[in-house]
Structure 1
Amino acid sequence: MNHEITELKFSVRFSDCDEYSRLKLSRLFQFTEEAALADAERNGYGLWNMMKAGVGCAITRMKLRLNHFAPLLGENLTVTTWAKENYKDKVIYKDYIIRDGQGNIMVEGTSSWLLVDLKTGKALPPSASPYPIPIIKEEALPEKLDILPIGFFPKKVDQVQGKNTDIDINHHVNHCRYVDWVLDALTKEEMKERGVRSIQLNYIHQVPLHEKVDILRFKDSKHHAVFFGMNAEDMKGNPLKARCHFQARVGFGE
């Protein structure tokens, strides 16, 4: 059976934009989330079918690379997504391409997903899925998105907390919310003058309701800033043993 790449169309609305009339990156992540759900649904392994079978798909890492600055208010976008690889029967890699109304590629992305037993919370091999996950061997970004190494001179730049409106159907902070947490830790000058050209997020431990997370920023490289979200309660004891909830790497423009 031939499988087609899923397409979903969006328009950038006023409520999607930041103060510079650019699409908020957390909304861009939400567009990809909705496209991934639509792709699963049309290929037979949709959310409700999987949940009834006692399994779910959990995103573990994601990267989006903007070829230009973020889309502007009023732009029409087409988000395409597909599962490109079952890697060693451990994770599924899913890619994304986002085009503007003229068909130009504005954003390319990749992500990794685990198949999870909802009763035990443990990962399962993708081949154990009750509904086969079709693979289309095309790619937008070739990276495998490795774990980010600990940087130098960490500095606490913020503390956040899982609140009622952050929690999704999986009973923990939705992965798109982490984007806002990371960007809130940047300065206004970085957001306006340099501009974010890429963002990678590695999701390590879920953040449940009321959990507090310290945002650490490490010494920047020339074009990147790295952040770790560390369990705030653990950081009061031995920081070297604190749980890391997420890692993020932000790439800037020139």
Structure 2
Amino acid sequence: MEKEIDDYIFPIRFSDCDSRSRLRVSAFFDFMEETAILDAEKNGCGIWKLLQSGYTSVISRMKLRINHFPHWGEKLHVSTWSKSVVGNKVLLRDYSILDERENVIAEATSSWLIVNIRTGLSEDLERLPFLPQFYPEKNALSENLELLEPRENPRVVLQKTAYDSDIDMNRHVNNCRYADWVFDAIALDPLLKHREVRSVQFNYLAGILPGETIDLVRFENSNHHVYIFGVNAQDAQKVHFQARIGISG
């Protein structure tokens, strides 16, 4: 019997908002992260159960499409579900974010790997002792998220160092912090600072450890996208993440 997909309610707090009283993009990511953790726990494959079995989950891709930015004091209903498995290793998870009137505020899709703690390698999902229920017919975003190619005119626009307050339980920079870093870089461009954000894609390639310094490298825009890569300041060949931000106008 197919289980019902739960939604989780998040009130938008003062600390979740930007200078225009709107929900920050990183807070969207925070809410989705918490919902994914709760959903995995409910479905019998939560963080501690994975660890006890010698595994951990790692996000590798995320794309968020934003229809509307909610404001301070509103409440959001966030739901998530495991959609399918690709190539035996990649688990697809989608998200839906509604307001209190059931309007679709945002939707997202993501890719996850299950990593063997002993080997550090991603595991074939069929080898796991447990798997979540899948909802293959339910799509929030039906997109395959690919690696981004570097574009012309790369330049370092901002530098960030990973401090203790950036680090999560996995002992590296929490993926939600990347959104703050990228939007700090975008805010430096007066032509972009107040453009509406319509989508955000992140490809997570290598974790950032405490003390590591990251160059935020911006490339030439396409018509409606900004491209920023997070590159290790000591090793320019090491790209920690890629971001593509869809903008209106």
1:106, distance to aligned residue in structure 2 (A):
0.7
Deviations 1:102-155, CA, capped at 9 Å, x for gaps? 000010100000010012211001122222221112110011110001100101
Output the CA distance in 2 between the equivalents of 1:61 and 1:141.
Answer: 13
Q: Partner of 2:175: helix, strand, or coil? A: coil
> Helix, strand or coil: the match of 1:179?
helix
Query: Distance in 2 between the 1:38 and 1:173 partners?
Result: 21
In structure 1, distance between residues paired with 2:197 and 2:152: 22
Residue pair 1:5, 1:80 contacting (<8 A) in 2 also: yes
Unaligned 5+ residue runs, structure 2?
none
The CA deviation string for residues 188-218 of structure 1, in whole angstroms up to 9 with x for no partner, is 6456531211110000011011011111000
Once the two structures are TM-superposed, the CA of residue 74 in structure 1 deviates from its matched residue by 1.0
Distance in 1, matches of 2:3 and 2:126, equals: 18
2:88 aligned with 1:89: yes
Say which of 235, 240, 248 aligns to 1:245.
240
Please give the secondary structure, in 1, of the residue aligned with 2:72.
Answer: coil
- The letter of the residue matching 1:252 is I
Q: Is 1:7 matched with 2:2?
A: no
1:195 aligns with 2:188: no
SS in 2 for 1:176: helix
TM-score scaled by structure 1? 0.94
Match in the other structure for 1:230: 231
Aligned letter for 1:202? N
Residue identity (%): 44
Quote the Cα distance in structure 2 between the aligned partners of 1:192 and 1:174: 24
Q: Could you tell me which amino acid in structure 1 is paired with residue 209 of structure 2?
A: P
2:115 matched residue in structure 1 = 116
Amino acid at match of 1:55: Y
2:182 aligned partner: 182
Q: Give the match for residue 51 of structure 1.
A: 51
SS in 2 for 1:181: helix
Retained in 1: the 8 A contact 2:186–2:193?
no
1:71-129: CA deviations, max 9, x gaps?
11111110010000111212000000100010000101000000100122110011222
RMSD between aligned residues: 1.2
CA distance in 2, matches of 1:6, 1:160: 37
What is the number of equivalent residue pairs in this alignment?
247
1:130 aligns to what? 129
Q: Is the 8 A contact 2:152 2:220 kept in 1?
A: yes
Matched residues in 2 for 1:191 and 1:9: separation? 31
Number of the residue aligned with 2:207: 206
**Partner SS, residue 40 of structure 2:** helix
Counterpart amino acid of 2:40? A
Matched, 1:218 2:201: no
Q: Is the 8 A contact 1:3 1:136 kept in 2?
A: no
After superposition, the Cα gap between the structure-2 partners of 1:49 and 1:21, relative to the gap in structure 1 and judged at 3 Å, is same
**178-187 vs 121-130, greater mean Cα deviation:** 121-130
Q: Secondary structure at the match of 1:32?
A: helix
Secondary structure of the residue aligned to 1:39 is helix
Amino acid paired to 1:200: Q
Q: CA-to-partner distance for each residue in 1:36-60, whole Å, 9 max, x for gaps?
A: 0011011000111111111011100
Gaps of 5+ in 1: 236-241
AA matched with 1:14: F
Task: Indicate conservation of the 8 Å contact 1:6/1:38, yes or no.
Answer: no
Structure 2 residue identity aligned to 1:172: H
Aligned to 1:100: 99
